[in-house]
Structure 1
Amino acid sequence: MSTITNDDYKTHMAPIIAEGFALDPPGFERLSLWTHLLMHLVNARTNFEWVRDHPVELGEMENSLRQQAFFVAGILAYCRCYASSGSGIPMLDAKKVFEGSDDGKQVHERLIALRNSIAAHTDASDIVRLTLAVKDEPGRLIIRHLWTMAVPVDEIDDFLEAVAHTEHFVTVSLNKYLNRLEKERSKTIELD
């Protein structure tokens, strides 16, 4: 089992500490929890961009599986922002994030439906079709388990817009919190 060992973590963080940063200092716990959302949004954006920038090569199983993996990873990362997580980790409310944007709400609902039908569960989906092919020959039956997946590449730009919209909402929320911290601490806060 692979884990992040304390030694690996210290090695990774050494340059940051050498620059004079304190890691997870007291008083910033609530702000630190937002890092989860930021990580998920970067992950979602990066995965959807990969799908957009690497068209599937029909008939190439490895390429198709890779595109499917990036697509599913993008969906899961995005949807984690709207699902309950660990204690204190922010969970976004789509009604607030997409307030005033019916198109945005529809794209968000599409992403949630895809998460529920192909990424988290194996319900019926409009982009996956499972097939059992049976060939009856004298003395034997040949059976193939098949699946066809259509990654909705034509929707990727919409998905990226939903991610960008969510990133904007998170940025505004974080900025409000940072402004409050500036007042409490009587210091200017700069993001690096």
Structure 2
Amino acid sequence: MGSIIDDDYKAHMAGVVEEGFVLDPAGYERLSMWTHMLMHLVNARTNFEWVRDQPVELGDLENSLRQQAFLTAGVMAYCRCYASSGAKIPTLDAKQVYAGSKDGQDVHARLIKLRNTVAAHTDASDIVRLTLAVKEEPSRVVVRHLWTMAIPVDEIPDYLEAVAHTEHFVTISLNKYLDHLQKSTGKAIELD
């Protein structure tokens, strides 16, 4: 089973500790919660960029599966920001994030729909079509299970804008909390 081994984690963090940083210090728990959100947004942005930057090669199964994986990972990472999570992990409210932006709300709804119909569940979707092909021959019946998936490359700029919009909202939320920490510590706080 793959999991993070304590010795590997300590080795990974050694450089940061050597620089004088304290890991997960008391008093910063609320700020630490946002690390999950930032991780998801970087993951979403990067995967959508990979879909955008990798040419679609029709008929190439490996390419199709890679594009599908990038799209699925991007959709799931983005949607995690808006889904209920574990204790102490923030959940964004799309009504707040996209207040006053009908286009933003529409793109967000599209991403949630893709999550629900392609990425997390296998429901009817406008980008996946399953087909059963049957050919009867004199001595046998040949059956093929087929699927066709459209990668919505033309929508990727909108998805990247949704990620950027969410990042902006998160940045504002983080900055408000950083202002609070500055006042309570009496010191300037800088993000590195």
**Superposition TM-score tier, normalisation by shorter sequence:** over 0.9
User: What are the superposed Cα offsets for residues 81-130 of structure 1, whole Å, 9 maximum, x if unpaired?
Assistant: 00011001000000000001110000000000000000011110000000
State the identity %. Answer: 74
AA partner of residue 5 (structure 2)? T
Where does residue 113 of structure 2 map in the other structure?
113
- Taking only aligned residues, the RMSD between alpha carbons, in angstroms, comes to 0.4
Structure 1 segment 55-134 matched on structure 2, within 5 A: 55-134=55-134
Structure 1's consecutive aligned runs of 4 or more residues displaced over 6 angstroms after TM superposition are none
Deviation at 1:2, TM superposition (A): 1.0
In 2: Cα distance, 1:142 partner to 1:8 partner: 52
Deviation at 1:139, TM superposition (A): 1.3
Q: Secondary structure at the match of 1:4?
A: coil
In 2: Cα distance, 1:149 partner to 1:74 partner: 16
Where does residue 170 of structure 2 map in the other structure?
170
User: What are the superposed Cα offsets for residues 22-78 of structure 1, whole Å, 9 maximum, x if unpaired?
Assistant: 000011111101000000000000000000000211111001100100000000000
In 1: Cα distance, 2:20 partner to 2:138 partner: 77
In 2: Cα distance, 1:2 partner to 1:98 partner: 38
In 2: Cα distance, 1:138 partner to 1:9 partner: 63
AA partner of residue 71 (structure 2)? F
Q: Secondary structure at the match of 1:183?
A: helix
AA partner of residue 17 (structure 1)? V
Q: Which runs of 5+ in 2 are unaligned?
A: none
In 1: Cα distance, 2:22 partner to 2:75 partner: 33
Q: Secondary structure at the match of 1:104?
A: helix
Q: Secondary structure at the match of 2:68?
A: helix
Where does residue 138 of structure 2 map in the other structure?
138
In 2: Cα distance, 1:10 partner to 1:18 partner: 11
Where does residue 11 of structure 2 map in the other structure?
11
How many residue pairs were aligned? 192
Matched, 1:34 2:62: no
TM-score normalised by L of structure 1: 0.99
In 2: Cα distance, 1:8 partner to 1:84 partner: 30
